[in-house]
């Protein structure tokens, strides 16, 4: 059992502590953002420690206390944190059994463990974990070769449990960061410029003095402006009045042009991919199709900017005391945030303590890091006063980092037998990675939006091409199918208008939408069933199994009649994570609205720890991806973002959520496979494929709105 997390935190004490009443506290650098990772980790610890699940407490992640596991991202939590906690728990159990044998003066082979009680079969005496370890440290390294339970020995893994925190949520006792209170606290709001490039020009001092006379604290640091008051409502009103006291230098505004043409024509840095990894070899030109090709088709697919659009805006709590600042926030990377925020503030990292507190759910880089830094700026200006800073809905919609707009150009050739004998895929996109990772020349601070406006400002560093396997824009660009003559090229496009970073599935959502839509188009050219066509081009048996399972459970090919159609799509996230096939039935109404009737998911996530948690991850991915696919796009003009509320940025409503059936392919003993992002891309392609079967219209630009359907019908 090896894990990158254990390299940084190699000791048992880094991961768990035994306290009174046989309670076990486990620590993790992976935060719970609603994906139930705390539940899965508690199940694993309970299993390996032979202790009741309810005795496991998962401590909130705090810098300086929890292991540094980087960022909760990439569907990596199970493979990293779960592997580490499994090894630490198994090591701890073995160590405590050894201590018990010594304390009871018996052979350790005579000892049995049940719910943290170690009993000798020979002398009928027992001792608890707490008796052995309360108030003590283990003082040993995690044994990566520690004996762990095989599936046949497991009694907790795979069972239904009450998710950690659920009781508090349903009884209203759960505390989100928005709910935090402290004596003497103030509520703060930021006064934002109209867009990224605007800066402070002038202030109406008379209006400011009136606010100050009413007890409003005003923070002005360069072009960063905020207000604070003891009463939240008065802080909100003060923010509006302060906005009226500010004149901005608009500096020309946002770039406005044909977005998709800009993606193709702007300056760019390009790399070819080999087995999902970019190299520095010359980009192969797209030449003539192979001589044996009987059919060659091309298609271009487009995705707009999309946002996280969490139902609640971001928030953070901060307190500056002496030379230290404490921050409570919903960041997914508390250590990288600490280090970059400390650099921006001229502090030592250890003088900035960040604790994760749940907030708006999000997969990716939303406003959590930015609002935390905003709160720190306000708290530093108001020492010894606790500050709760909340973004507004407009702040969230207009200032969070978006998922980049993308263009995918594909070409494929078939031989007489219907085999794909040539495959070309170019993806054009802005970056998908602008989290505040520390780096040279203020790299991390420049990625915190508040640092751009304070004095001295830290401008953002232009993004650089990413390497690695299936990262960023080229995630899932290289298909799992066994195609010869592949040409896969990724293009990092420069000088695009909006701020981008990681959003659930990164480039995988759009790349699989394009890839799996194109597979359907090729299957039609080959005059083959879409499922059979996919199976013919796969050698991975687990991939085949999920497609076959989804098709069978769905009743493929389903009901394809006038206005009703069925589609199926497949993907293995990053080509190494969870395998997922999604089949969907849609109805296209006379008003060109796409209604989702039913969906089937089949997924292989390796060894399943928390089946209920896995199911909600997969189904939640379908629902969010359906929203992106049917409704979502960020709109803007020269004056700034115009998608600032739910009317201008509509999302999926309950009335269009399909019934969903989920099938889990059990793989006991197999490695964990991250699942949080597996169904997003297949969902988009399945919907587009279903719309084609319902209408005969191939829609290649997202979102698939009624206007898009009507335009396709007219053309």
CA distances from 93 to 8, 23, 119, 326, 546 (A): 22, 14, 13, 35, 37
pLDDT tens digits, 156-185: 999 999 999 999 999 999 999 999 999 999
How many structural domains does the chain have?
A: 3
Establish if 444 belongs to a structural domain.
Answer: no
Q: Are residues 287 and 322 in the same domain?
A: no
CA distance 184 to 320: 13
Residues 138-163 have a mean pLDDT of: 96
Other Cβ atoms closer than 10 A to 382? 18
Residues 696-711 have a mean pLDDT of: 98
Q: Are residues 647 and 568 in the same domain?
A: yes
Question: Residue 64 has what pLDDT?
Answer: 97
Q: Are residues 570 and 555 in the same domain?
A: yes
Establish if 447 belongs to a structural domain.
Answer: no
pTM (predicted TM-score): 0.96
Q: Are residues 120 and 194 in the same domain?
A: no
Question: Residue 3 has what pLDDT?
Answer: 80
Establish if 681 belongs to a structural domain.
Answer: yes
Using pLDDT thresholds of 50, 70 and 90, give the confidence band for residue 1.
low
Range of the structural domain that residue 647 is part of? 262-304+403-431+466-714
CB 71 within 8 A of CB 365: no
Question: Residue 5 has what pLDDT?
Answer: 93
Residues 688-704 have a mean pLDDT of: 99
Q: Are residues 530 and 408 in the same domain?
A: yes
* Tokens 């400011």, residue located: 208
More confident residue, 34 or 508: 508
Token pair of 354 as six digits: 């960040």
Q: Are residues 631 and 582 in the same domain?
A: yes
Token pair of 667 as six digits: 């793989």
- Angle at CA 583, nearest 5°, toward 581 and 586? 155
Establish if 375 belongs to a structural domain.
Answer: yes
**Of 359, 378, 399, the domain-final residue:** 399
Q: Are residues 29 and 97 in the same domain?
A: yes
Alpha helices for 600-705 (secondary structure H): 611-630, 680-695
Nearest to 66 by CA among 375, 333, 448, 329: 333
Establish if 619 belongs to a structural domain.
Answer: yes
CATH number of the domain that residue 577 is part of: 3.30.365.10
Give the number of residues written for the chain.
715
Question: Residue 680 has what pLDDT?
Answer: 99
Establish if 552 belongs to a structural domain.
Answer: yes
Other Cβ atoms closer than 10 A to 122? 12
Question: Residue 308 has what pLDDT?
Answer: 98
Q: Residue 126: enclosing H or E segment and its boundaries?
A: strand 126-128
Q: Are residues 607 and 664 in the same domain?
A: yes
498 exposed, middle or buried (CB, 10 Å; 0-12, 13-18, 19+)? Answer: buried
Q: Residue 232: enclosing H or E segment and its boundaries?
A: helix 232-244
Average pLDDT for the chain? 97
Residue 65, pLDDT above cutoff 70: yes
Contacts of 465 (CB under 8 A, 6+ apart): 269, 271, 278, 490, 492
Q: Are residues 392 and 410 in the same domain?
A: no
Residue 608, pLDDT above cutoff 90: yes
Using pLDDT thresholds of 50, 70 and 90, give the confidence band for residue 2.
confident
| 120: β partners | 111
More confident residue, 169 or 248: 248
Using pLDDT thresholds of 50, 70 and 90, give the confidence band for residue 632.
very high
Q: Are residues 373 and 410 in the same domain?
A: no
* Tokens 């170690």, residue located: 118
pLDDT tens digits, 76-92: 899 899 999 999 999 99
CA distance 593 to 71: 39
Q: Are residues 702 and 614 in the same domain?
A: yes
């Amino acid at each position: 059992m090896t894990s990158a997390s254990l390299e940084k935190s190699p000791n048992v004490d880094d991961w768990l502590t035994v306290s009174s009443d046989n309670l076990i506290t486990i620590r993790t650098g992976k935060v719970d953002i609603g994906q139930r990772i705390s539940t899965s980790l508690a199940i694993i610890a309970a299993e390996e420690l032979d202790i009741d699940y309810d005795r496991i407490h998962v401590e909130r992640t705090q810098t300086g206390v929890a292991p540094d596991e980087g960022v909760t991202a990439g569907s990596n939590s199970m493979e990293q944190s779960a592997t580490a906690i499994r090894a630490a728990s198994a090591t701890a159990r073995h160590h405590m059994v050894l201590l018990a044998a010594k304390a009871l003066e018996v052979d350790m082979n005579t000892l049995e463990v049940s719910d943290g009680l170690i009993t000798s079969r020979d002398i009928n005496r027992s001792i608890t974990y707490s008796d052995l370890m309360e108030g003590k440290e283990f003082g040993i390294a995690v044994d990566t070769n520690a004996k762990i339970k095989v599936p046949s020995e497991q009694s907790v893994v795979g069972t239904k449990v009450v998710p950690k925190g659920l009781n508090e949520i349903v009884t209203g006792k759960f505390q989100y960061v928005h709910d935090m209170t402290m004596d003497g606290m103030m509520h703060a709001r930021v006064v934002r410029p109209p867009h990224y490039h605007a800066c402070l020009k002038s202030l109406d001092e008379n209006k400011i003095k009136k606010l100050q006379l009413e007890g409003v604290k005003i923070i002005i640091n360069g072009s960063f402006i905020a207000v604070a008051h003891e009463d939240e409502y008065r802080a909100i009103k003060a923010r509006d009045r302060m906005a009226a006291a500010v004149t901005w230098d608009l500096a020309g505004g946002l770039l406005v042009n044909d977005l998709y043409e800009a993606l193709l024509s702007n300056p760019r840095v390009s790399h070819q991919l080999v087995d999902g990894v970019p190299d520095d070899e010359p980009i192969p030109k797209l030449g003539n199709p192979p001589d044996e090709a009987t059919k060659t088709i091309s298609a271009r697919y487009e995705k707009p900017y999309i946002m996280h659009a969490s139902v609640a805006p971001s928030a953070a709590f901060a307190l500056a005391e002496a030379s230290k600042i404490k921050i409570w926030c919903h960041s997914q990377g508390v250590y990288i945030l600490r280090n970059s925020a400390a650099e921006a503030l001229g502090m030592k990292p250890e003088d900035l303590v960040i604790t994760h507190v749940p907030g708006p759910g999000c997969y990716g880089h939303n406003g959590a890091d930015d609002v935390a830094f905003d709160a720190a700026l306000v708290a530093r200006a108001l020492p010894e006063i606790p500050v709760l800073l909340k973004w507004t809905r407009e702040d969230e919609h207009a200032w969070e980092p978006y998922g980049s707009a993308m263009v995918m150009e594909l070409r494929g050739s078939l031989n007489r037998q219907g085999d794909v004998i040539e495959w070309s895929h170019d993806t054009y996109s802005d970056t998908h990675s602008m989290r505040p990772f520390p780096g040279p020349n203020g790299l991390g601070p420049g990625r915190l939006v508040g640092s751009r406006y304070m004095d001295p400002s830290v401008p953002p560093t232009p993004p650089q091409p990413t390497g690695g396997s299936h990262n960023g824009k080229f995630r899932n660009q290289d298909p799992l199918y066994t195609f010869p003559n592949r040409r896969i090229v990724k293009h990092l496009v420069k000088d695009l208008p909006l701020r981008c970073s990681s959003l659930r599935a990164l480039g995988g959502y759009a790349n699989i939408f394009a890839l799996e839509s194109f597979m359907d188009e090729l299957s039609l050219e080959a005059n083959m069933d879409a499922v059979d066509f996919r199976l013919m081009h796969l050698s991975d048996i687990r991939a085949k199994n999920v497609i076959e399972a989804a098709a069978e459970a769905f009743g493929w090919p389903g009901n394809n009649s006038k206005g009703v159609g069925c589609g199926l799509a497949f993907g293995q996230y990053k080509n190494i994570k969870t395998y997922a096939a999604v089949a969907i039935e849609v109805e296209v109404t006379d008003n060109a609205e796409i209604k989702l009737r039913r969906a089937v998911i089949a997924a292989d996530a390796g060894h399943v720890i928390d089946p209920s948690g896995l199911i909600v991850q997969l189904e939640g991915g379908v629902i969010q991806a359906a929203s992106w696919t049917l409704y979502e796009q960020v709109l803007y003009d020269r004056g700034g973002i115009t998608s600032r509320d739910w009317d201008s940025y509509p999302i999926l409503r309950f009335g269009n959520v399909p019934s969903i059936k989920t099938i889990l392919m059990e793989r006991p003993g197999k490695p964990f496979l991250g699942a949080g992002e597996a169904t997003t891309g297949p969902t988009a392609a399945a919907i587009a494929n279903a719309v084609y079967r319902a209408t005969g219209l191939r829609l290649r630009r997202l979102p698939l709105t009624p206007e898009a359907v009507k335009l396709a019908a007219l053309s």
